[in-house]
Every structure is written in structure tokens, then in C-alpha cells.
Structure 1
Amino acid sequence: MGERDPVEARSDDTRDLYDVATWEPRSALDRLSIKVYGGAVTVGKWIVVLLALAFTVAIGAFGALSDPFVGTLTVLSAIPALALAAYVYYADITSGEPIWLLTATFALSIFFASFAAVINSLFSPLSLLGPIGLVLFFYLVVGPVEESVKLLAVRLYAYRDPRFDAVVDGAVYGAFAGLGFAFVENAIYINRGLEMSPSTGTEAQLAVAGGTAAFRALAGPGHVIYSAFAGYYLGLAKFNPENAGPIVAKGLLIAAFIHATYNTLVSFIPGIVSLSFPNVPQFVVFLAFVLVYQGFFGYLLYRKIARYRAAYRAVRTETERQDGDVPVDTTEFDG
């Protein structure tokens, strides 16, 4: 329960404190105030969505996806991220999340990715100030901004739905927000690679676009992992409202740090290894790094979800034992 005014705290139930220290809707003005507030919140949400939609059109994301060639490669490049998001969905031991809520989160993340694109572009000159500037760009701009817009895609809609009824649901919706972000980012990278390619033949363009899609397919699951972490803490915040702000901040700090560290290391490690081992192709180094890095944090995400699953099974078993519904020696599953 939240803080109470001293008058309310010291008063008995016989004193009417309406509009003095407590409030509930009684008058027509009270009910109008509720409608005005609700309408303002709804209008504000639609403004955010429409603004994101306009930015999405402006950066050419829809144009990229409307090209059958780019669209097909984008879908293929998103398969690893989709598989990871599907696993997080499957690992939710509580009630299954409705597909339309997951779809809405996916779509909102596609739209809100445009916010990140605009902000990243505004601060991109920082990345041109040598290695230190690039690192600062990743840690102060790219990581925090991209993880924030993905979390916004969850917070704006699914978070307020009554079917978001468990902490672990935050990880599920966060994962699908990461999938939407990876999807539109892959489309933009593939389309940009085609536009910048000097080759005009079909086979040459296929090679360029296919190479870009392969790189993006490896990078995409990272977005799912980062935002699943942030989403988990958003779910934790929903059920701990007295500490909601710090909990959300913790999730964003974790996700942004993992994200920025990935961007930093992947920008330098392949080049450094190639200088030391010139016979090793950069793609092999990149592949090895991505598998190790994302595999490590993917495992940490698995352990976090597994811990929730174990706790859920344990408390459910305890309740069933008290009710006499299961034998005493029922085993509990962790993982």
C-alpha cells in the first residue's frame, strides 16, 4: 500500500475524508475528470504511434520491405531471432500470451525503431571521433536508446493488458519487441547494402544482399536477448510498484550494457584478430565471436527464466500439497 496522509492515517472509518485526504469518483466533475485523463492518455499514445509511423516512412523502412527481394531476405535473416523469441514464448510456464498482443508488440517495435534511427543519426558525429568516440557512441547513445524504444513498445500496450499477469511475461513481450526491432533493422541494412553496391547484375546483387542478410541473421538474436532482459525487469516492476522506477532502470542498464559491449567488441575484435592471424577470414572470426558472446548471454537469460520456472513449480506444488492434490514426493523441475 502507498503512503497515506496523516489525516487519513489517524482517522477512523466514520469520518468522510473525500476531497480532504482521500478521493474517489462521486460527482459529475469527478467522472468527467476520469474521462478527460483517459482520453488524454489515449490521444498521447496515438500521437506517439503516428509519429513513429511517420518516421518509419521517412527512413524508408516500408519502402525496403515492399521490395520482394529485400523482403524475402529480411524474413530469412530474421529466422534465428524468431526461433529465439519462440523459445522464450515456449519457456513461459504461466498462461500463454495471446498472439495478437505479441503481434502488436512486434509491430510497435518496428515503428518505434524509427525513433532510435533518428536519435542515433543526430549523435552519429560522436562515432567519428576515433575509437573513444565510437565506444562512447555505443554506450551513451545506441545501447540506451535502442533498448528504451524496444521497452516502450512493450510498455505502451501489452504491459497494461490484464493478460500481462506474471513477471516472466515481460521477458516474452521484450523478446518479441527485440524481434520486431531486428526485423526492421535487417531490412534497412539489406536495402542500404544494395543501394551502395556498385554491382548491377542480378547475381552480384544477390551476393551482396545475401552477405548482408547472413551478417544480420547472426546479429538479430542479440536484440531478442537484450530486450528480453529489459522486459523481464519491466514485468518485475509491474508487480513491485513501490520500486518500479529503479527496477525498470536496472533492466535497461543491463540490456544497454550488454548491447553496447557487443557493438564495441564486434567493431574491434575481428580486425585485431585478422592482423594477428591474417589467414583467418573475418567472417569466421565474426561468427565465432557472435556465437560465444550471444551464447553466453543467451544462457544467462535461460537461467533467469529457469529460476522463475523453478519457483513457479515449487509454489504451485506447495499449494497443491496443502490442498492434498498431489503426493508428497512430487519432484520439481528446474529448467
Structure 2
Amino acid sequence: YLLLDNFLVVAVSEEVCKIVPVRLAAWKHPAFDYRFDAVVYSVSSALGFAAVENILFVVQSDLRTAVSRAVLSVPGHFFFAVAMGLLLSRGKQAEKQGNGRRRTVLCALAILVPVVLHGIWDFCLSVRRPWATVVFYCFVIAFFIAADLGLRRASQTDAHL
């Protein structure tokens, strides 16, 4: 039950809430004219979502929960959004090049990959076992390295669409 809840309920619903504003508000906007824009829009959407989510948690919980959420959920939403944005940027580029099939695949991956990452993140935090804590911290380190490398590469190779 916990595994299904973390992946199919929490991860799917939250990642959809983050990608919808990017796809509806930003995708066709004329200011979306560089590949890196997708990362900026995805991260902005994710951090806005995290802010609202954390306010709701704080109102319903205590200070300990608030601190825990700030330390754990905000970086998670950032990491998932980086993956989303990097894939959306490639999807947008494929669209501009007239490759609709590639755009569709990349946009599908832009939701699927963050859902899987989010599900793993939440599951490791929900299990509350020593092995899950170890997996979680290894995951955080791997995320940090992957996000850093992805962001550096994307910003260095950014180009007009």
C-alpha cells in the first residue's frame, strides 16, 4: 500500500500539478525561446508548489514538521523539476525542429521520470527503516551530482530555439 500510495497517488498528483502550469502557461509563450527556459519554468513551478504545500503542512502540524519539510521536500521538488525541465527543453527543441514524435516521447518522459524519482524519494522517507535512510541519502547525493551536471551542461550549451 505504501509503495502504491507514494508512486501512484502522491508522486503522480504532485508532478502533474507542477508540469501543467509549464505546459499550459509557458509552452507556447513567445518568451519560451531558449532551451534553458524549460528548466527555469519547471523549477519555478515546483518551488511555488512546494511553498504552498509546506504552508499547508505548517498550518496543520508543528514546528518540527515545518523544519523537516523545508529541509527534505523543497530540495526534492527542485531535483524533480530539474529532470522535468531538462526533458521538456529537449521536447520543445524537437517540436521546433518539426519532430512531433520525439517531442511526444520527451514530454512523456518529462512527467514519467520525475514521478519515478519522486516516488522513490517519498517511499524511502515513508518506510522509516535504516536501509531506507541509507538509500535515501545515497539518492540525495546522486540527485545533487546529476542535477549539478545537468544544469551546468544545459546552461553552457543553451541555445535559441
TM-score (norm 1): 0.42
Structure 2 alignment gaps of length 5 or more: none
Q: CA deviation at 1:159?
A: 2.1
In 1, Cα distance between the equivalents of 2:129 and 2:113? 27
Whichever residue aligns with residue 107 of structure 2, its letter is V
Task: Report 1:187-226 matches (<5 A).
Answer: 187-193=55-61, 209-218=62-71, 219-226=73-80
Moved more, 289-298 or 162-171: 289-298
In 1, Cα distance between the equivalents of 2:138 and 2:59? 28
Structure 1 alignment gaps of length 5 or more: 1-132, 194-208, 277-284, 316-335
State the number of aligned residues. Answer: 153
- Indicate the SS of the match to 1:240: helix
Q: Percent identity?
A: 27
Return the index of the structure with the highest Cα Rg. Answer: 1
The answer on 1:272 being equivalent to 2:118 is no
CA RMSD of aligned residues (A): 2.3
Q: CA deviation at 1:232?
A: 2.1
Report what 2:107 is aligned to. Answer: 248
TM-score (norm 2): 0.84
The answer to whether the 8 A contact 2:82-2:151 is kept is: no
In 2, Cα distance between the equivalents of 1:263 and 1:257? 10
Q: CA deviation at 1:290?
A: 5.8
Task: Report 1:47-66 matches (<5 A).
Answer: none
The answer to whether the 8 A contact 1:171-1:227 is kept is: yes
- Indicate the SS of the match to 1:239: helix
Judging by fraction of residues, say which structure has more helix: 2
In 2, Cα distance between the equivalents of 1:305 and 1:224? 12
Report what 1:237 is aligned to. Answer: 91
The answer to whether the 8 A contact 2:12-2:115 is kept is: yes
Report what 1:160 is aligned to. Answer: 28
Q: CA deviation at 1:291?
A: 5.2
In 1, Cα distance between the equivalents of 2:48 and 2:151? 21
The answer to whether the 8 A contact 2:38-2:89 is kept is: yes
Of residues 137, 151, 154, the one that matches 1:305 is 151
The answer to whether the 8 A contact 2:86-2:154 is kept is: no
Report what 1:261 is aligned to. Answer: 120
Structure with more contact order per residue of length (Cα contacts < 8 Å, sep ≥ 6): 2
Give per-residue Cα distances to partners, 1:211-253, cap 9 Å, x unaligned.
1111111121111211221122122211212221111111211
- Indicate the SS of the match to 1:162: coil
CA distance change for structure 1 residues 290 and 188 in 2, over 3 Å: closer, same or farther?
farther
Give per-residue Cα distances to partners, 1:41-60, cap 9 Å, x unaligned.
xxxxxxxxxxxxxxxxxxxx
